[in-house]
């Protein structure tokens, strides 16, 4: 693949991929998208467990569709007014979900928008998971894009279908189409009250001319049934009864299980392999070398030594019994302690400008009241609950894979490239994802399964252990930040200098990259909403020594932590209330076209959208801050050891503010008893799922801030499992998360990611309020041990 | 040979006695509701009941299970309507859903011992489970809701 394709930190085409505006006939492979070719559908449904991927549902609950299997003949040529919609002759509606479900609820939200617009009866709709196919438009479920890129397409798909059914009814009755309207799976003739069910209209609807997209009428807000209201997830029954199908839950006849010993260092190669002990493990059948992929490797597997066995336990035991000598290669000296100093030195020298307003250097030099601080955020790993697993079969030159992938088309293209077959001969089925967070947008693990399936001539499931997951991830970049600001006599910020250094995601795709590009700063550093006349936001060199990848909210994690913490430090220095200071810093209401605001080296698009469509609206920043300030009881007294912190951040085109309350025990343990969140993401289709994303983002923010850290020594990850890669658990987690989803008809922004960036700063600021200890290096870990004795330390930033 | 019951059905096992129950359930019985998350009893995704009590299937070896009665999420309630399963759905607890069978099995064990748990008792019982999506507040609410409705 071309490295250029992947250079932007947000892996997006310049503009969202267009969808066909005319209906594309569905090929047989798609109408049975859940079914592998060569297997009887019945067999496969048994394998998957009916209900995992084929469900009927209603607003009041979920039920299994007993007659989910199409009758012979009917399924051969169902009416498909749009690639996302099929209607059988009996009126049953199938909505094809082309995005991957990883907890954000898209398998519910996408269908509910379409069903709402087409006036389908929700209880007569079912959802089918699409295979990877470009005809669906982008299926790359990352960048918080599902609704912000597709809301209009989903509405148009539903409204087009409705228009065709209405036209069909008008034709059957021989009346003007203006006299008819669709209502809950039927079309009504207004003057006479006559009705025709959707099923009765399908045959005629096939013959009706497709309306031009511009002529299709999208519902007015007052006509919507479900959009903007809570809709329960369609997968609740399988998820609570153990029948939901994730990656490792797919089994094929004659399937083998593989576990792989991968190079412990990025770019290492196996020098010698002693297989003797592994072969003695009962159930081990074969040992297969997978060639190491040279750095940078992109989406391709790391390579290594695979143990093929008849079951998972034998594969894991056999893998652990391998004795391999590795040549570590150039990254064998990578050491997190030393690298921290490297990054720190990098941000102490000027970098490449990403935003320049006025003259921050001169303003700082002239100021008598300067504040500076440096921050450090470690490597992180997604540690999603489901370790990678993929199943593949290679037969007659055709490759078929089942995987919990965020991006089935990337998987398909990468498999084609890796196995040197035509993409037309590759099918990728998407299971549910047991968490994704960006890790599962990389198909390296699917390539492993396909390579091994071809080598052994049988279907293979590759099962990663948790240790594999933590040691062979695509890590969230370790980052250093340096911020400097000048305050005038009244405490107003007159200059802002922000430098950051972190290995770039682009280094996973392009060799010998000296560091990130200024464009990466538009992920929450150069697009800040502050009203400051002199600003310089710069990015500094950092060479990658590990695979770097997207992790929920990407660079906005460390940008948000450093910026949100520094603003709190400035407020303390100015002697002002942090919330009041924040509102002052946001300044007067204004709409800023960021592409004309002094950005340097920014991309053609902003989170993949046109810059002009998403100006920075400071009124929206102010509104979310005021919302959390008011609802959190900001300013009311708290007992000793408790404190509140506030932060606001915009990323993925959405605005999120948080007030987090922490309780720090005398031994330094941090609990987060409550949090208040406000999110303005434009139009929100399914507000309860948006709330759930905010709850989850806050708790993932707790993990990132309080506990989690990947470190390297001699090029090797030092953590192994959840005992030393710690994440948030229930005891520390909030009892109350009060989420305010701002009601809006505005263009939708992201929901999955924007909640994470403000969480880190809000927690760190709350810790300062509670203890007087300023946390500038993450994770907090044991930094608060003995905080009471140090309580006199006000944690003030050192005047620079 | 090891003889045990799983969800009320008598089973015999003649394979590697060091195999953890987790892989027996998943690979041999196709009971895939019990999830692999860590293999070292750190995350709770594989929680089942052994002898009526929650146990981490990744750390219980087949050799320890002679005569044991094992219940998995598939066997918790015949129609999937255990009060906890119902509460989980009412509160829309799951996000990705992967850890939830283990969470529900652990919570079922808690309610059996402690029908009206306090927040502290819930936290203590559930702290061995990880939900990376961060559904903890809703899990806590669902356990309390199920406990209240069972009165």
Q: Do A695 and B132 touch (CB under 8 A)?
A: no
Tell me which residue in A103, A245, A722 faces B42 most closely, judged by beta carbons.
Answer: A722
Contact at CB, A242 and B138, closer than 8 angstroms? no
A669 CB neighbours in chain B (<8 A) are none
Please report the number of interchain residue pairs, chain A to chain B, with beta-carbon separation below 8 angstroms: 193
Identical fold, A17-241 and A336-380+474-771 = yes
User: By the CB < 8 Å criterion, does B70 face chain A?
Assistant: no
Q: Do A248 and B85 count as a contact with CB atoms less than 8 A apart?
A: no
Q: Which residues of A touch B95 (CB under 8 A)?
A: 103-105, 692-693, 696
SS3 state of residue A656: strand
B135 part of contact set with chain A, CB < 8 Å: yes
Task: List helix spans (H) across A281-369.
Answer: 312-321, 336-347, 360-366
CATH for the A254-330+388-463 domain, from 3.40.190.10, 3.90.1150.10, 3.40.50.300, 3.30.365.10: 3.30.365.10
Q: Which residues contact A578 (CB under 8 A, 6 or more apart)?
A: A567, A568, A571, A572, A645, A646, A765
Chain A residues inside the 8 Å CB shell of B101: 240-242
B121 touches chain A (CB under 8 A): no
A249 contact B CB<8A: yes
Beta bridge partners of A463: A389
Q: Please give the residue that has the higher pLDDT: either A71 or B2.
A: B2
Task: Give CA–CA dist A314/B17, Å, rounded.
Answer: 12
- Cβ-contact A759, A698 below 8 angstroms: yes
Are the C-beta atoms of residues A265 and A334 closer than 8 Å to each other?
yes
Cα separation, A354 vs A548, whole angstroms: 21
Provide the β-strand partners of residue A460.
A256, A392
According to the model, what pLDDT value does residue A758 have? 98
pTM given for the model: 0.93
- Provide the pLDDT confidence category of residue A46 given band limits of 50, 70 and 90: very low
Give the model's pLDDT for residue A298: 97
As beta bridge partners, residue A352 has: A539
Task: Give the end-to-end CA distance of chain A in Å, rounded to a whole number.
Answer: 46
What CATH fold (topology level) applies to the domain A336-380+474-771?
Aldehyde Oxidoreductase; domain 4 (3.30.365)
Q: Is the pLDDT of residue A317 over 90?
A: yes
Tell me whether A661 touches chain B (CB under 8 Å).
no
Q: 300-319 in A: which are within 8 Å (CB) of B? A: 311-314, 316-317
Per the prediction, chain A carries an average pLDDT of 91
- Of A269-273, A385-389, A786-790, B140-144, least confident by mean pLDDT is A786-790
What residues are paired with A733 via a beta bridge?
A: none
pLDDT tens string A764-780? 999 999 999 999 999 99
Helix or strand or coil: residue A168?
Answer: helix
Measured CA to CA, the distance from residue B88 to residue B100 in angstroms comes to 9
Q: How far is B115 from chain A (nearest CA, A)?
A: 19
Confidence at residue A25, expressed as pLDDT on a 0 to 100 scale: 29
Interface ipTM above 0.95: yes
Residue-wise pLDDT for A470-483, tens only, equals: 999 999 999 999 99
Q: How would CATH label the architecture of A17-241?
A: 2-Layer Sandwich (3.30)
Structure tokens at A261: 């010993």
pLDDT in tens, A650-675: 999 999 999 999 999 999 999 999 99
* Closest in B23, B33, B127 to A730, CB measured: B127
Minimum mean pLDDT range among A172-181, A610-619, A677-686, A783-792? A783-792
Q: Which of A244, A257, A729 sits opposite B127 (nearest CB)?
A: A729
Question: How many angstroms away from the CA of A22 is the closest CA of chain B?
Answer: 34
Residues A624-659: tens digit of each pLDDT = 999 999 999 999 999 999 999 999 999 999 999 999
Structure-block tokens of residue B106: 């652990």
Average pLDDT of the segment spanning A344-352: 98
Burial of A525: CB neighbours in 10 Å, binned 0-12, 13-18, 19+ = buried
Q: Which of A384, A727, A730 sits opposite B140 (nearest CB)?
A: A730
Please list every residue in chain A whose beta carbon sits closer than 8 Å to the beta carbon of residue B27: 257, 311-313
Q: Is B142 on the interface with A (CB under 8 A)?
A: no
Q: What is the pLDDT of residue A557?
A: 98
Q: Are B47 and A337 in contact (CB under 8 A)?
A: no
Q: Assess B33–A contact: CB distance below 8 Å, yes or no.
A: yes
What pLDDT does A70 receive? Answer: 34
The pLDDT tens digits for B61-74 are: 999 999 999 999 99
For residue A11, the model assigns a pLDDT of 53
- pLDDT (average), residues A424-433: 98
pLDDT in tens, chain B (151 residues): 999 999 999 999 999 999 999 999 999 999 999 999 999 999 999 999 999 999 999 999 999 999 999 999 999 999 999 999 999 999 999 999 999 999 999 999 999 999 999 999 999 999 999 999 999 999 999 999 999 998 6
Interchain contact A247–B (C-beta under 8 A)? no
CA dihedral B129, B130, B136, B139 (to 10 degrees): -50
Amino acid A12: pLDDT = 45
Peptide bond connecting A296 to the previous residue in cis, omega within 30 degrees of 0: yes
A356 touches chain B (CB under 8 A): no
Paired tokens of A547: 């695979």
Sorted by where each starts, the structural domains of chain B and their CATH numbers stand as: 2-75 (3.10.20.30), 83-149 (1.10.150.120)
CB atoms A434 and B96 under 8 Å: yes
In this structure, the strands spanning A534-540 and A352-357 are antiparallel
Whether the pLDDT of residue A52 is over 70: the answer is no
pLDDT at A590 over 90: yes
Structural element, H or E, at residue A178 = none
Would you tell me which residues 363-382 of chain A have a C-beta closer than 8 angstroms to some C-beta of chain B? 382
Domain boundaries, chain A: 17-241, 254-330+388-463, 336-380+474-771
For residue B94, the chain A residues in CB contact (below 8 A) are 103, 233, 235-236, 239-240
- Average confidence (pLDDT) over A353-361: 98
Count CB-CB contacts under 10 A for residue A508. 25
How far is residue A130 from each of residues A114, A238, A354, A430, measured CA to CA in Å? 16, 19, 39, 7
Question: Helix count (H) and strand count (E) of chain A?
Answer: 18, 31
Segment A132-154, tens digit of pLDDT: 999 999 999 999 999 999 999 99
Residue B78, Cβ density class (10 Å: 0-12 exposed, 13-18 middle, ≥19 buried):
exposed
The beta-carbon neighbor of A313 closest among B16, B122, B134 is B16
pLDDT of residue B151: 67
Looking at the complex, does the CB of residue A687 fall below 8 Å from at least one CB of chain B? Answer: no
Contact B132 A385 (CB under 8 A): yes
CB contact under 8 A, A688 and B92: yes
Res. A214 pLDDT band, cuts 50 70 90: confident
Is A797 a residue whose pLDDT tops 70?
Answer: no
Residue A127 makes CB contacts below 8 A (sequence gap 6+) with: A54, A55, A57, A94, A95, A96, A97, A107, A111, A234
Q: Which residues in B lie closer than 8 A to residue A433 (C-beta atoms)?
A: 96
DSSP string, chain B: -EEEEETTEEEEE-S-TTSBHHHIIIIIS--TTSPPS-SSSSS-TTEEEETTEEEETTS-BGGG-TT-EEE-GGGS-TTS--HHHHHHHHTT--SS-TTHHHHHHHHHHHHHH-SS--HHHHHHHHTT---TT--HHHHHHHHHHHHHHT-
A144 lies within 8 A of chain B by CB? no
């Amino acid at each position: 693949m071309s490295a250029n394709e992947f250079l932007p930190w947000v892996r997006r085409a310049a503009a969202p991929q267009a969808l066909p505006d005319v209906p594309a006939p569905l090929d047989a492979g798609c109408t049975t998208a859940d079914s592998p070719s060569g297997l009887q559908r019945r067999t496969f449904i048994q394998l998957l467990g009916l209900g995992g991927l084929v469900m009927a549902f209603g607003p009041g609950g979920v039920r299994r569709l007993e007659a989910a299997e199409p009758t012979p003949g009917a399924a051969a040529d169902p009416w498909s007014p749009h690639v996302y919609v099929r209607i059988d002759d009996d009126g049953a509606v199938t909505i094809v979900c082309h995005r991957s479900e990883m907890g954000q609820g898209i398998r519910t939200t996408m269908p509910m928008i379409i069903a709402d617009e087409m006036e389908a009866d929700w209880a007569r709709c079912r959802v089918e998971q699409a295979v990877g196919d470009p005809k669906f438009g982008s299926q790359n479920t990352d960048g918080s894009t599902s609704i912000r890129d597709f809301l209009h397409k989903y509405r148009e798909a539903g409204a087009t279908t409705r228009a065709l059914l209405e036209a069909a009814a008008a034709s059957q009755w021989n009346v003007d189409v203006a006299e008819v309207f669709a209502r809950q799976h039927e079309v009504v003739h207004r003057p006479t009250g006559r009705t025709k069910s959707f099923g009765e209209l399908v045959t005629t609807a096939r013959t009706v001319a497709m309306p031009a997209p511009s002529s299709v009428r999208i519902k007015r807000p007052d006509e919507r049934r479900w959009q903007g209201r809570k809709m329960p997830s369609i997968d609740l029954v399988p998820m609570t009864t153990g029948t939901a199908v994730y990656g490792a839950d797919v089994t094929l006849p004659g399937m083998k299980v593989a576990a792989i010993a991968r190079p412990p260092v990025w770019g290492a190669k196996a020098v010698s392999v002693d297989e003797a002990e592994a072969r003695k493990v009962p159930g081990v059948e074969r040992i297969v070398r997978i060639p190491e992929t040279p750095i940078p490797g992109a989406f391709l597997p790391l390579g290594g030594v695979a143990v093929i066995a008849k079951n998972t336990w034998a594969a894991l035991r056999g893998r652990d019994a391998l004795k391999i000598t590795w040549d570590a290669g150039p990254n064998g000296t990578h050491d997190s302690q030393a690298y921290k100093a490297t990054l720190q030195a990098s941000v102490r020298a000027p970098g490449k400008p990403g935003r320049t307003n006025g003259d921050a250097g001169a303003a700082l030099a002239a100021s008598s009241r300067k504040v500076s601080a440096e921050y450090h955020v470690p490597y992180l790993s997604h540690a999603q609950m489901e370790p990678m697993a993929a199943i593949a079969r290679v037969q007659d030159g055709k490759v078929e894979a089942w995987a919990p992938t965020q991006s089935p088309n990337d998987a398909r293209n990468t498999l084609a490239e890796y196995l040197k077959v035509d993409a037309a001969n590759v099918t990728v089925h998407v299971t549910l994802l047991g968490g994704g967070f960006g890790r599962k947008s990389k198909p390296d693990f699917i390539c492993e399964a396909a390579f091994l399936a071809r080598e052994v001539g049988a279907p293979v499931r590759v099962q990663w252990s948790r240790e594999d997951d933590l040691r062979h991830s695509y890590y969230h970049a370790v980052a250093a930040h340096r911020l400097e600001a000048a305050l005038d006599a009244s405490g107003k910020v007159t200059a802002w200098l922000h430098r950051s250094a972190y290995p770039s995601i682009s280094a996973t795709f392009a060799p010998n990259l000296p560091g990130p590009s200024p464009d990466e700063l538009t992920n929450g550093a150069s697009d800040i909403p502050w009203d400051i006349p002199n600003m310089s936001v710069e990015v500094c060199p950092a060479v990658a020594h590990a695979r770097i990848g997207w992790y929920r909210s990407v660079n906005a994690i460390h940008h948000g932590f450093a910026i949100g913490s520094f603003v709190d430090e400035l407020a303390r220095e100015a002697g002002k209330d942090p919330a009041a200071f924040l509102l002052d810093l946001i300044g007067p209401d204004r709409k800023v076209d960021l592409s004309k605001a002094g950005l340097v080296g920014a991309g053609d698009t902003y989170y993949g959208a046109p810059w002009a469509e998403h100006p920075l609206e400071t009124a929206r920043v102010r509104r979310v801050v005021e919302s959390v300030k008011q609802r959190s009881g900001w300013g009311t007294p708290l007992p000793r050891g408790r404190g509140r912190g506030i932060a606001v951040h915009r990323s993925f085109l959405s605005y999120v503010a948080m007030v987090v309350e922490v309780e720090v025990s005398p031994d330094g343990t941090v609990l987060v008893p409550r949090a208040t969140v406000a999110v303005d993401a434009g139009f929100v289709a399914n507000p309860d799922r948006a709330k759930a994303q905010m709850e989850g983002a806050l708790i993932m923010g707790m993990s990132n801030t309080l506990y989690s850290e990947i470190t390297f020594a001699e090029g090797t990850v030092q953590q192994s499992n959840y005992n030393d890669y710690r994440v948030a658990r229930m005891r520390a987690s909030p009892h109350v998360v009060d989420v305010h989803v701002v009601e809006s008809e505005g263009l939708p922004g992201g929901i999955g990611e924007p909640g994470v960036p403000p969480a880190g700063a809000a927690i760190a600021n709350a810790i300062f309020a509670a203890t007087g200890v300023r946390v500038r290096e993450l994770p907090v870990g044991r930094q608060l041990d003995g905080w009471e004795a140090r309580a006199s330390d006000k944690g003030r930033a050192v005047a620079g | 040979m090891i003889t045990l019951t799983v969800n009320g059905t008598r089973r015999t096992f003649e394979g590697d006695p060091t195999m953890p129950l987790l892989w027996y359930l998943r690979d041999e019985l196709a009971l895939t509701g019990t999830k692999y998350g860590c293999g070292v009893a750190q995350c709770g995704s594989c929680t089942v009941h052994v002898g009526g009590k929650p146990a981490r299937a990744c750390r219980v070896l087949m050799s320890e299970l002679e005569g044991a009665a094992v219940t998995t999420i598939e066997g918790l309630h015949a129609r999937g309507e255990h009060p906890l399963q119902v509460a989980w759905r009412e509160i829309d607890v799951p996000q990705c859903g992967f850890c939830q069978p283990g969470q529900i099995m652990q919570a079922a064990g808690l309610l059996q011992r402690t029908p009206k748990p306090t927040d502290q008792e819930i936290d203590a019982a559930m702290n061995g489970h990880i939900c990376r999506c961060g559904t903890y507040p809703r899990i806590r609410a669902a356990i309390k809701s199920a406990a209240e409705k069972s009165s």
